[in-house]
Amino acid sequence: MRVSVLGLGYVGCVSAACLASQGHEVIGVDVNQAKVDLVNEGKAPVVEERIGELTAEVVRTGALRATVDVGEAVLGSEVSLVCVGTPSEPNGSLCTTYLERVAEQIGAALAEKDGRHTVVFRSTMLPGTCMNLLVPILEKYAGTAGVDFGVAVNPEFLREGTSVRDFFDPPKTVIGELDPASGETVAALYDGLPGEVFRVPVPTAEAIKYADNAFHGLKIGFANELGAVCQALGVDSHQVMDVFLADRKLNISPAYLRPGFAFGGSCLPKDLRSLVHAAQRADIAVPILANVLTSNTAHLQRAVELVERTGKRRVGLFGLSFKPGTDDLRESPLVELAERLFGKGYDLKIYDANVSLSRLMGANREYIENRLPHLAQLLADSVDEVLEHAEVCLVGTRDPAVLSALPHGEAPVLVDLIRLPDAEARRTESGYVGLAW
C-alpha cells in the first residue's frame, strides 16, 4: 500500500520504517525540516534499537522518503497514519492542537483528491476525540466519513527502546473502525504480523490505550509500594513477588478485572487496613494501597446515587452477603449499601436466599439479629415479595431464582450492580440502569 505517516517522532519513525520494510511505499511527514532531512539521508531522528539500520535500508531501497508537505504526502498515498504528539496541558488535560492542525491539513488535501483515502489515528487520545473533534474537521473539507473517506483509530502499544522488535511481534493489534472498509484497510497494513487483531468501535480503541497505560502505571506503583513495605518489614520483596506472579489463577489472570460492584468480605478490607497501618508505622508512604478502600467506597456511593436519581422511595435489594454462595455478612458491600439506603429513609426490602436460609437454620442468626437488627426486619422470604414491594430494584446477586424472576419494562426500575448476563439486551430498556458499563 502507499502510506503517508504524519509526525516523525518515536511512533511515526518506527511505524514508517517498519511498514516500509514490510513492502509498503511510505512517505513520512514532519513540520520539523531537520527530521525530514535526517530521514532522507537514511538516518533515524530518534534513538531506538535497530531503527538506524532499518531506516538506512528502507531509504536506500526507495521504500521510505520524507517531506514537510502534508498535501503532497496525502495525495501520494491511500492511507495516512497520524502519529503527532498529544502532550499534557499544564492542567493535565490532553493537548489536541497538533491533531486538530493535522486533521485540517489532511482534510484540505482530501478535498483535492479522487479515490478513497483512509485516515488512521495512531496518537493516543481520549475516547470521543476522533468522532467528536477530528471527524468533524475532516468532514468540513472532504465529505462524509465512512462514505467519502475512511477513518480508524489504531493505537500504538510498542515500548520505547524495543519498539522495532515489538512492531514485528506486537502484543496485539487494535483497530477502532468507523466502517468495515476502514478496518479492512488497517488490517491489510499489518497483514502477516503475529498477535491477535481486535476490531472494535472507535471510542473503544481510544479507551483501550488508556486502560493499558493506567494499568501499567498502577502495577508498577503497586509493586514498588509493596516492595517498600516488605523492605521495612525485613522481607525479601522479590521472593514475595516470585510467588505472587506464579499464581495464574487469582493474581496474573482475568480474575477481579471486570467492572462490577464494590468488594468487601472478612479479608480484603481488614488486610488492606492492617498492611497500610504497618506501612504508616514504618513511615512508608503508600498512597495507592491507602486509597484502595477509598476507591471502593466511592464506587459504592455511585450505586446509592443511581437509586437517588430514580426519585423512587420503595427499594428492593437482591443479595446481601458479600459474594455468591456464602451467608457471610461481615463487611459485605451490600450490607453497607443497604445501611446507607436505610439511613437515608428508603423503604427497603431485601432478599438473599443464603441469608434467609442461614437465618432459618440459626447459623448466622445471632450475627444478623445482634449486629444488623435494623436490616433483619427488612429481610423478605421470597423474590416475589421484594418485586411486589419495589419501585426500584438493586440486583447484587446472580442467584438463578432472582435472575429468572427479574421483569422487563419500565417498573420496577432495575439497578444492575453486577452486569447481569442479559445486560446487553436490557441496556436499551427504559427501566434499566447499569453500574458496570
Ligand X SMILES: NC(=O)c1ccc[n+]([C@@H]2O[C@H](COP(=O)([O-])OP(=O)(O)OC[C@H]3O[C@@H](n4cnc5c(N)ncnc54)[C@H](O)[C@@H]3O)[C@@H](O)[C@H]2O)c1
- Looking at residue 414, what DSSP letter applies? E
**Secondary structure of residue 303 in the 3-state scheme:** helix
Q: Does 98 interact with ligand X (rule: CB under 6 A)?
A: yes
Size of the site for ligand X (CB under 6 A): 25
Q: Which of 4, 28, 35, 44 binds ligand X (CB under 6 A)?
A: 35
Q: How far is the CB of 346 from ligand X (least distance, A)?
A: 45
Distance of CA 175 to CAs 9, 94, 207, Å? 21, 21, 12
Binding mask 143-162 for ligand X (x = CB under 6 A): -------------x---x--
Q: Write the DSSP assignment of 260-294 as a string of letters.
A: -S---TTTHHHHHHHHHHHHHHTT---HHHHTHHH
Q: Write the DSSP assignment of 175-230 as a string of letters.
A: EEESSHHHHHHHHHHTTT--S-EEEE-HHHHHHHHHHHHHHHHHHHHHHHHHHHHH
Q: Does 84 interact with ligand X (rule: CB under 6 A)?
A: yes
Q: What b/e string do you get for 103-140 counting C-beta neighbours within 10 Å, with b at 16 or more?
A: bbbbbbbbeebeeebbbbbbbbbbbebbbeebbebbbe
Q: Does 203 interact with ligand X (rule: CB under 6 A)?
A: no
Enumerate residues 301-360 that contact ligand X by CB under 6 A: none
Q: Does 85 interact with ligand X (rule: CB under 6 A)?
A: yes
Q: Does 127 interact with ligand X (rule: CB under 6 A)?
A: no
Q: How far is the CB of 404 from ligand X (least distance, A)?
A: 46
Shorter beta-carbon distance to ligand X: residue 12 or 170 = 12
Q: Which of 55, 96, 123, 185 binds ligand X (CB under 6 A)?
A: 123
Q: Which of 3, 5, 8, 315 binds ligand X (CB under 6 A)?
A: 8
Q: Which of 102, 109, 353, 375 binds ligand X (CB under 6 A)?
A: 102
Stretch that binds ligand X, among 10-18, 318-326, 348-356, 400-408 (CB under 6 A): 10-18
At 170, list the grid cell.
506486537
Q: How far is the CB of 148 from ligand X (least distance, A)?
A: 22
Shorter beta-carbon distance to ligand X: residue 9 or 146 = 9
Examine the residue annotation and report whether 267 is marked as an active-site residue of this protein.
yes
Distance of CA 216 to CAs 157, 230, 247, 259, 428, Å? 12, 21, 19, 18, 34
Contact, 324 vs 399, CB < 8 A? yes
Contact, 6 vs 82, CB < 8 A? yes
Q: Does 398 interact with ligand X (rule: CB under 6 A)?
A: no
- The residues that are catalytic are 267
Q: Give me the residues that bind ligand X (CB under 6 A), please.
A: 6-12, 29-32, 35, 70, 83-86, 98, 101-102, 105, 123-124, 156, 160
